Chains A and B, each alone.
Chain A
Amino acid sequence: MKKSNIHWEAVEADPRFQALHRDKNRFLWRMMLFALIFYFLLPISTAYFQDILKVKVWSVINVGLLFALSQFIVAWVIAIIYAKRASSEFDTRARELVKDAHNIKGLL
């Protein structure tokens, strides 16, 4: 491995990095958790709540079809929200750290 002159422990301890990874993780885990719950509700309801899925909403279209199609919308919306937030905020904050990384030396 090329020996880099970055002081990794110091960068990791830098308050800006700490704030970045805290904000990022909080955001990511919330989205992930929501996506997982929303997705697993589908197999759970096709297994245990078929009566709800069979309720007709609009001519032959039932709750089950709408729920399945809504999964696509949710996936796309999550992707767009994440991509927007990441490129407008996380990327900028990471870039600042990268620019400054050589100067972060910690208390050695």
Chain B
Amino acid sequence: MKPINKILLILAALQPAPVLASGAVHQNYKWLTFLVFSSIIAATMYITFWASKRVKSTEDFYAAGNSISGLQNGWAIAGDYLSAASFLGIAGLISLYGYDGFMYSVGFLMGYIAVLLVIAEPCRNIGKYTLGDILAFRNDPKKARMIAALSTITVSIFYLTAQMVGGGVLVKTLIGIDYEVSVIAVGTLMLAYVVFGGMVATTYVQIVKAVLLVIASLVLVTLVWMPYGFSLPAFLQAVADNPNVQAQVAKLLGAAASAMSPAELGQRFLEPGLFLKDPIDQISLGMALVFGTAGLPHILMRFFTVPNAQAARKSVVWAMAIIGGFYVLTLFLGFGAAMHVGPETIGGIDKGGNMAAPLLAQYLGGGESSLMGNFMLAFVAAVAFATIVAVVAGLVLASASAIAHDLYVNVIKDGKATQAQQMKAAKIASICVGVVAIIIGILAKGQNVAHLVGMAFAVAASSNLPAIFLTLYWKKCNTTGVVMGMLIGAGSAILLVLVSPNMTYPLKVLNDANSVIQSAPQKIAEHRELLTRIRSEAAVNGIEKEIATLEKQLKKAEEDTAKYQNQTTSMMGLEKPLFPLKNPGIISIPLGFLMVILFSLFTHDKRAEDLWEELYVRQNTGLHVEDVSH
């Protein structure tokens, strides 16, 4: 190889991967992306226009006039729940870490068992629009609404920030528009749905998005599985035999892999332990997923859109079928991406693996420069975009209802507000929350938000679930218990995350950076030296890739050193984590329950006792469900 070519190659390797410069969609096919995006956006705008004529009262705005059927609501719950994190994130984790990624899929589905058995129907029977309605039934209404609103807003903001930041990065990576522009686009579109169409538009947008998501996934899985005659053993055998997969396992295991045969390496991808290392952390995460789902305010709110408990039940059963079916598909999406795109490429573009499903779509359609490949990529990108917008819309509606319905109408105005005033409050609150979401999205650019979804689940599980559950099923539960339990449950979850390894610890960063700076230049020099002696094209390519990676690491280390130069402690003033786990659930969930119980036992609340029989009869029978109006 001529030296000039070599230099060109090295330069090419030093550039960010070409797909990153202008998004993963090929330049020649921008029009295609534009077309697919605009058709999906146009469809949702039409829905919003149609819905806006149906939204006449707060009943319509918050609860779609209880007119949603069980089947429709099942799809809408799936639309609300299958966020970008679960759609792209889990497929990505499976493509990078195999079996361990799939563990998330299982946890996310199992959360619905608690929703189905103990939460959905009672909540439909006693609530109207919000978490506050449920807690205010027998507890002191003002205090219960205030704490419920606080918790709803906290959970929603965590979740929302993760969606906005993740969405901004994703859209930028996929189609190459600026981060700020995509955050504003997501925010504006979502506000249009919510403000003009309320829950009616939000519900139908979620249904459309869930259907598109399932269709896209089914097409991809069919294409990826068909060559193996739809046989599971044959497909998994191909995964284990794949050199990309084997190389990834070898990289993850490091020195331990040297004694393993290729077949053993491939098999290891189908076994646990490549990603989740700490057993207690794993159980703690499982607890947050399983108990948190039932406390997510935007999911709870969906049960008020159906007419009765039977429809609520039916909607959870449908949601479990759709969500579960989808999560089974993630196994094929993730493994397919690992085989055809390769963990190296996927992890190179995005560390979390979020690009696995889109890149798989591009490959299956015929590759980077084919029409079909780019169409499929554009389609998956548009579905991902619709996903973010729909999930954010649900979250904004949940927070806006907490502000307008709980805080404004029922706490400030004592429930004495006209329909017109209530509608105005709902819309103003939606706009405010939406604008805040956009601002947070822009401010949090470049921040590590991966732990925020986990935090939202942990707070929901430690604060909302104990309060709802004990209010519904325990006679002695009362206002003080609920307020203190929610404060301590949520507070402990947040505090534990703030002092956990999720935060950035400058000393550790500097230390790591330092060791890279110490060792990388020498390694690069060694590789360069090797390059002058090796002739084989493949080996040269491999070494050049290695050099590019090392130089990237070196650059990052230098940036980190400059950034954290004069810092010694994390934002909490700690040199190292106080709490060893990344997931606080194992401590904060039992603590939340315990606090509700203890404070209820040691205090006395006449209203909570007097209304117990009414609540218990109503939640079990649905008696007078038509007049739950407090």
Contact = CB atoms under 8 A, between A and B. Distances in A.
B622 A65 contact: no
A91 B279 CA distance: 42
Contacts of A48: 279
Contacts of A87: 310, 313
A72 B323 CA distance: 10
Contacts of A20: 620-621
A4 B624 contact: yes
Contacts of B290: 36, 39
B569 to A, nearest CB: 32
Nearest to A44: B283
Interface in A80-98: 80, 82-83, 86-87, 91, 94, 97-98
Given A21-B620, A46-B103, A97-B623, A28 B236 contact: no
Given A43-B103, A79-B317, A80-B317, A97 B117 contact: no
Chain A residues touching B, majority SS: helix
Nearest to B241: A60
B286 A98 contact: no
A20 B619 CA distance: 12
Contact of A65 (B99, B316, B327): B99
A42 B267 CA distance: 19
Contacts of B114: 32
A59 B233 contact: yes
B627 A2 contact: yes
A72 B327 contact: yes
Nearest to A63: B271
Nearest to B291: A36
Contacts of A1: 629-630
Interface in B264-281: 266-267, 270-273, 276, 279-280
Interface string A17-38: 1001100100010011001100
A98 B237 CA distance: 57
A33 to B, nearest CB: 10
Interface in B573-627: 613-614, 616-617, 620-624, 627
Contacts of A42: 103, 106, 286
Given A61-B236, A65-B99, A75 B270 contact: no
B271 A53 contact: yes
A101 B627 CA distance: 15
Nearest to B327: A72
Interface string B420-459: 0000000000000000000000000000000000000000
Contacts of A2: 627, 629
B623 A6 contact: yes
A59 B616 CA distance: 53
B302 interface: no
A72 B630 contact: no
Given A76-B320, A94-B622, A64 B272 contact: yes
A108 interface: no
A4 B310 CA distance: 23
Contacts of A64: 99, 270-272
A52 B285 CA distance: 22
Contacts of A91: 310
B112 interface: yes
B282 A94 contact: no
A48 B114 CA distance: 26
B469 to A, nearest CB: 11
A11 B623 contact: yes
Contacts of B282: 43, 46-47
B627 A8 contact: no
A60 B317 contact: no
A17 B622 CA distance: 12
Contacts of B616: 12, 21
A105 interface: no
Nearest to A65: B270
A94 B313 CA distance: 15
Contacts of B113: 31-32, 35, 39, 75, 78-79
B118 interface: yes
Contacts of A76: 320-321, 324
A49 B68 CA distance: 45
Contacts of A6: 614, 617, 623-624
Contacts of B328: 69, 72
Contacts of B624: 4, 6
A68 B237 contact: no
A15 to B, nearest CB: 14
Interface in B178-208: none
B116 interface: yes
Contacts of A4: 624, 627
Contacts of A68: 99, 102-103, 106
Given A6-B623, A12-B613, A72-B324, A83 B109 contact: no
B314 interface: yes
Contacts of B237: 59-60
Contacts of B103: 42-43, 46, 68
Given A8-B614, A68-B103, A75-B110, A62 B327 contact: no
A107 B556 CA distance: 78
B232 interface: yes
B482 to A, nearest CB: 19
B548 interface: no
B117 A31 contact: yes
Nearest to A95: B621
A98 B273 contact: no
A17 B321 contact: no
B320 A75 contact: yes
Q: What are the 6 tightest A-B residue pairs by CB atom distance, in nearest-first order?
A: A47-B279, A46-B272, A8-B614, A12-B613, A94-B621, A59-B233
7 contacts: A12-B613, A17-B620, A24-B620, A28-B117, A31-B117, A71-B106, A80-B317
Given A8-B614, A97-B623, 11 more contacts: A31-B113, A39-B110, A43-B283, A44-B283, A47-B282, A56-B267, A61-B270, A64-B270, A71-B106, A75-B320, A79-B320
